[in-house]
Chains A and B, each alone.
Chain A
Amino acid sequence: MEILMFIVIGVLFAVGTYMLLNRSLLRVIVAIMMLSHGAHLLILTMAGLNADAPPLEHMADGGYTDPLPQALILTAIVISFGITAFLVVLGYRTYKVHNTDDLEKLRGSADE
């Protein structure tokens, strides 16, 4: 199970990095989403996957899942949700004002 999770995380990070280097505003935002999903999964996996066990100690017969990473991820997901929403709006406004979503054209010239 861990191996599968690490492959998924690796793919998410690879795709995210590739898209982050893209020229389109929207793809950069999608890349940020992918990277943050990868990071969330990483927290879950690094704490040790304990399948079939509840995150409650008194319900556990043989071992329980560590509930802390799940709480951490919940917080991190809320934050990344807010940031994604903000980035989408910011990207949209940038597109509206500059009439382009090509980051190459959004480069600042030195003398302005």
Chain B
Amino acid sequence: MNNLLMLPVILPFAVGALLILLVRYRKTQRMISALTSFAMLGIAIFLAYEAYTTGVITLEFGNWTAPFGIVFVADLFSTFMVLLSAIVGVVCLFFAFNTLHSEREKFYFYPFYFFLLTGVNGAFLTGDMFNLFVFFEVMLLSSYALIVIGGTKYQLRESFKYAVINVFASILFLVGLAYLYGITGTLNMAHLAVRVGELEQTGALQIVAMIFFLVFAMKGALFPLYFWLPRSYYGPPSAIAALFGGLLTKVGIYAIIRSFTLIFIHDPDFTHTFILWVAGFTMFFGVLGAVSQFDFKRILSYHIISQVGYMVMGLGLYTRIAIAGAIFYIAHHIIVKTALFLFAGATEKITGTTDLKKMGGLLKTHPWLAWMFFISALSLAGIPPLSGFFSKFPLIRESLVIESYGIATVALVVGLLTLFSMIKIFVYAFWGEQAHSKEQASVSVTKLLFAIVPLVALTIILGFAAEPVFNYSLDVADQLLNPEIYINSVLGE
């Protein structure tokens, strides 16, 4: 039973390796990858259910007991993230079938797609700092390949910077690991949590904590380390940009939340207040970037930054309801942001551009697309009764309860500016004079909409059925705020 825990990592890896051999057979590739992505969704649902009913599942590789061997740990948080990544995995794949240029498919798109999912799932499930590094690298190396696939001039120029920045972050990660191992003598997360508690989180350990925060902040695009994100997410085709926008930054956020609710929790006055400040700046500057842009994809990319801020804000407030809000926000964001990037892809397929000033009048020719986009845009901005409202509400309420009025104000203003920039997209792209030709008006996007409908439905469901989901988030938060559960199940008291 426990061995099932390997499947979200092993399955995409094996399938990815197989698809390298089948790279010439397009139909076979598509069929295998579609089946695999559904299988992964099934496994993820099963794992989430198991972790919910039976508690934390651990797997010790080769029966080497916990602090010495490699462990995989599936608690509520990690299985939830695996489930979300499986959903995004299915949807982006089906969108890619219909939009991706066949040249790109031949250049090993599917293998890298699955290697990326391997890295993402591995990073969620691992219970070991060094394996976190390894899975980060698996994920990043495939993301370098995916971001440059196709090799246009723009992509080559920006991917080089993207790659260098992320490699630099990985080197810092290694430095942090070296110090951590030198000080505590272990890299197993549960064991680390115990050791850091014994040694007291002062002096050198505080610096290590900040190095890790810096590394994860670079991957999660927090202030002031977000500058690489909008440019590099603009380059690749929308199916890939959606996968990145939905998943990649969230892996950094996952790592921050994991390490600052499990390991470095002994000086919250310093660390979590610092995180709260960073969150405020991230939200604010991210949304300012979005307001200043006039390009569909760029606005969405800047929004990723501001919304990552909300998730970290939940961690910075560090109360039960705030962390539950952050978990809910992650779910909401992964779903809605992926959907919005796919909408960008659909409009790009019709009009051939992502520049808002060259668009207009899509509402008349493609009403379904327009209204579904409208729903997602409102959800992103946090209009009730969609999921965005119910994920922001607990965060803002909680910040008022513990009297951090500054962050509450920032969060409210950012929500308003988000609404403003989403409405800007809607006004420029869907209202107004028809800017596209008759041929473009007759382009059918029904197939593409089929890929997006599940996401739009999910955001509506998350809104109308907010209570059960929020209760689940509260359970996740309870588990995160009681690290003993995690520690005991790994080290086996």
Contacts and interface: CB of A to CB of B under 8 A. Distances in A.
Which of B141, B145, B153, B181 has most chain A Cβ within 10 Å? B181
Contact of A94 (B137, B157, B167, B181): B157
Nearest to B180: A46
B175 A42 contact: yes
A43 B178 contact: yes
A106 B137 CA distance: 26
Interface stretch (B48-56, B158-166, B439-447, B455-463): B158-166
Contact of B164 (A28, A76, A98, A108): A28
Contacts of A48: 182
Interface of A is mostly: helix
Interface in A6-58: 20, 25, 28, 32, 35-36, 38-40, 42-43, 45-48
Interface string B112-153: 000000000000000000100110010001001100100101
Contacts of B151: 93, 97
Given A46-B179, A94-B157, A97-B156, A86 B171 contact: no
Given A32-B167, A86-B141, A98-B156, A76 B148 contact: no
B160 A42 contact: no
Contact of B168 (A32, A38, A40): A32
Nearest to A91: B160
A44 to B, nearest CB: 8
A60 interface: no
Nearest to B166: A83
Given A35-B168, A42-B174, A43-B177, A86 B144 contact: yes
Interface in A61-112: 68-69, 72, 75-76, 79, 82-83, 86-87, 90-91, 93-94, 97-98, 106, 108, 112
Given A28-B164, A35-B168, A98-B153, A108 B175 contact: no
Which of A38, A45, A90 has most chain B Cβ within 10 Å? A90
A47 B181 contact: yes
A105 B144 CA distance: 22
A15 to B, nearest CB: 14
B366 interface: no
A72 B177 contact: yes
A45 B181 CA distance: 11
Interface residues of B, number: 31
A58 to B, nearest CB: 17
Interface string B259-291: 000000000000000000000000000000000
B179 to A, nearest CB: 6
Report, as a range, how many residues of chain A touch the other chain: 20 to 34
B70 to A, nearest CB: 11
B181 A43 contact: yes
Contacts of A79: 134, 137, 141, 170
A90 B167 contact: no
Given A79-B134, A97-B156, A108-B231, A87 B177 contact: no
A46 B181 contact: yes
A112 B231 CA distance: 11
B153 A97 contact: yes
Contact of B159 (A69, A90, A108, A112): A90
Contacts of A86: 141, 144-145, 163
Contacts of B133: 76
A47 B148 contact: no
A45 B159 CA distance: 33
A39 B160 contact: no
B378 to A, nearest CB: 29
B164 A87 contact: yes
A56 B8 CA distance: 35
23 contacts: A28-B164, A32-B171, A35-B168, A35-B171, A36-B167, A36-B174, A39-B171, A39-B175, A42-B174, A43-B181, A45-B178, A46-B178, A46-B181, A69-B181, A72-B187, A79-B141, A82-B141, A83-B170, A90-B144, A90-B160, A94-B157, A97-B153, A108-B231
Which 9 pairs of residues, A with B, have the shortest CB-CB distance? Answer: A46-B182, A39-B174, A43-B178, A42-B178, A46-B178, A94-B156, A79-B137, A35-B171, A39-B171
Given A39-B178, A108-B154, 19 more contacts: A20-B164, A32-B164, A32-B171, A38-B171, A43-B178, A46-B182, A72-B177, A72-B181, A72-B187, A79-B134, A79-B141, A79-B170, A82-B141, A83-B163, A86-B163, A90-B144, A94-B157, A97-B153, A98-B157
